[in-house]
Amino acid sequence: MHFIIILLALSCAVGLRLIPLPKSGNWHQRWQKSLFLLVCPPLVLIMTALAVLSMGTSGEMLGLEASWFSYSLALGFVTWGILIAVQLIAQLWQSQCQIERLSQQMVLGKTARILEDDFPYSAQVGFWKPELVVSRGLLESLDEIHLEAVIAHEQAHLNYRDTFWFGVLSWLKTLTVWLPHTEELWQELLLLREIRADRYATQEVDPLILAESLLYFAKAPFYSSNYSNFSFSCSILSSRLAERIDAILAEDSEPLTLGWWMWMLLFCICLPWITVPFHYS
C-alpha cells in the first residue's frame, strides 16, 4: 500500500508539472502560478517519503502489508535530498569565503565588496546575510544616477531576502530536475524575481534610468571563471530583456505576493499525512 501511495504522489507531481505556464495575465498572477508549480511537486514527494518513513516497514494499511521496497524508495529520496542540500551549502560556503577576501568600500551609502575586474557586475552574494558585491568596472563605467538605480535594484533583493528563498527554491529545483518543465519554471521565476526587484527600485529611482542601466548590463554581460559561484547577479537574458523593460515602464503597481496559491500548496503537502492514521502496526 505504501508503494501505491508513492505512485500516487509521483503521478500528482508529474501532473502538476504538465500544467502549462501562464503566458498572459499580470506579473502577480504569473508569480503565484509559477511558484506553486515549482514548489508543490517536490514538497508533495518529500512529505510522502517522510510519511512512509514514519509508518515503517511493518504493519498494514487497508489490508495491504508494508514492505521494505517502498521504505527503501522513501529513504533513498530523502537521503538524496540531504546530499543535494549539503552540496548547495558547500557551494554557498565557497562563495562566502571568496567575498570575504575582497576589499570593502562605501558605494552611495552602502557597504560593498569590490571585485577588481573590468566587467560590469552587481549582486547580493550570500545566503542568510548576503553582502553587496560590485565590480570596479561597474563603478568606473556608470555615472551616479545609473549606479544609484543598480544599487536600488540590489537593495530590493536584500529586502525580499531573495538569496535565502531562492537558495531554498534552488534545492527543490535540483531535487526534482527530472520532472517535466523544471528548467522552464525556474527561468520564469528568475525573470519574475528580477521584475519584482526592478519594480521596487522604481519607487526610488526614475524607471527610464533603471531601464538604461539594464541595457548597459545587457551589452556587457558578466563572465569570469574566477567568480563562477557568484551566480546571484543582475544578469540579463537578451531574449527576456524586453519583458523586464516593459514591466519597468508599466503603470501596474500590483505587488507580487503569494495569495491564495499558498493555501492550495499547504493543502497538497498535507495530503500524504492523511494516510498515516490508516496504517496499523
Which pLDDT score is estimated for 232? Answer: 47
Higher per-residue confidence, 223 vs 122: 122
pLDDT mean over 202-220: 84
pLDDT in tens, 214-242: 888 776 655 554 554 454 444 455 557 78
Which pLDDT score is estimated for 100? Answer: 86
Tell me the domain boundaries of the chain.
2-280
pLDDT in tens, 56-71: 766 565 555 557 788 8
Q: Which amino acid is at 45?
A: L
With b meaning 16 or more CB within 10 Å and e meaning fewer, what string describes 82-97? eebeeebeebbeebbe
Q: Does residue 117 register a pLDDT over 90?
A: no
Q: Does residue 2 register a pLDDT over 60?
A: yes
Instruction: Provide the mean pLDDT of the chain.
Output: 81
User: DSSP label at 174?
Assistant: H
Residue 273: pLDDT band (50, 70, 90) is low
Sequence-distant (6+) residues with CB within 8 A of 45 are 9, 10, 13, 77, 175, 176
Residue 232 grid cell:
546571484
Q: 248-252: long-range contacts at Cβ-Cβ below 8 A with a sequence spacing of 24 or more?
A: 248/198, 248/199, 248/202, 248/207, 248/210, 248/211, 248/214, 249/207, 249/208, 249/211, 252/26, 252/27
User: DSSP label at 106?
Assistant: E
pLDDT mean over 108-114: 90
- At which residue does the C-alpha cell 531573495 appear? 162
